[in-house]
Amino acid sequence: MPLNLDNLAQSPRLLMEADLQPIQGTRFQPTGFPDLGAAEYPAPEGDGRMLLVESAQSMANRLEGVCWDEAAGDWIDPLKGLPYVRVNNDQGEVLTSSVLEAHRLNSPYILEGKDTTVLDMLKEELAHMEQGRVDIRKLAETLVRVDTNAALHGVFLAKSNLAGGRLRLPRALSAFIEAEDAKVAPSGGVKVDSVDPSGDTSKGFGNVPYARDEYVAPKITAYFNLDLSQIRAFGLGEAGERLLLALALFKIRRFLETGLRLRTACDLECQGLRVTRPEGFEVPTLAELEGELPGLIQAAAGAGLFNDLRVTEVTYRK
């Protein structure tokens, strides 16, 4: 049965929330930031403390990561056939790909090496944007043909010889995880040196005691925001829109089922996913999305949205 996405046709956003909890025990470890550590902040109402468990930047990478088969070095089966850029070394071994790189097509391994295949293609496709407004439709069309994933997660092509470094596509799919009324659960330990307990700790010897802060919270929520207006503005036609919508929903469903081990001390599970806008829309199951995506990829290819070579290969040389 084809996916029913009719309820999304007039809505500017699809907003979803998922209730999470630690899979074992009550403690969890949030993301940390340089010179800040855990991101705590006052609750907008009351005296409680909020805690950022996972940032939007990290969530984008995690939503991409659950789509990648590390052993095979390719998309997982339902996504085979989606375009991306693969980076090899001089020996033909895979270094990375646009799916794995934090900045996607703007990765230095794609744009800063001696192999200028992708850079030359982008210049040819987007050269007319050197002056005037950036044509978001043309930029999105180019991304879908070369690196479809980037049309959802955004890209900033910050090279001066690409339209003056102004080619920026915001995230159409964004997410973050927050905990409410979070409290510190302090603990610690000792790195034990049974041979020389009083050795030089600066060189790795000796006993080293340390403190450790984890957290507990009565409520942990993952928030997902899919910008439907932005996807429609890409002007990709029905085949392109349906593919991007299904791909975004697939990423969310798969992340909630397989991607919630965020860190060694932060292993969560989903208690339920709900739609807060628009009213009445039900997110398809992971099995339904897995069954539909191969056909949607084929339909997008038939509509001319992809390059003939789905995998663009470049060789990275400094």
CA distance 222 to 28: 14
The tens digit of pLDDT for each residue in 232-278 reads 999 999 999 999 999 999 999 999 999 999 999 999 999 999 999 99
Task: Residue 164: give the domain boundaries.
Answer: 6-182+217-315
pLDDT score of 317 more than 90: no
Specify if 209 maps to a domain: no
Side by side, which strands form the sheet with 311-315? 94-97, 84-88, 311-315
Specify if 194 maps to a domain: no
pLDDT score of 178 more than 90: yes
DSSP tag of 67: T
Confidence band for 190, pLDDT divided at 50, 70 and 90: confident
C-alpha distances (whole Å) from 32 to each of 113, 138, 211, 225, 273 are: 32, 37, 15, 23, 26
Specify if 202 maps to a domain: no
pLDDT score of 138 more than 70: yes
Specify if 82 maps to a domain: yes
The tens digit of pLDDT for each residue in 72-115 reads 889 999 999 999 999 999 888 999 999 999 889 999 999 998 99
Number of folded domains that form the chain: 1
The tens digit of pLDDT for each residue in 21-39 reads 999 999 999 998 888 888 8
Beta bridge partners of 216: 183
Specify if 198 maps to a domain: no
Q: What is the mean pLDDT of the chain?
A: 92
Specify if 191 maps to a domain: no
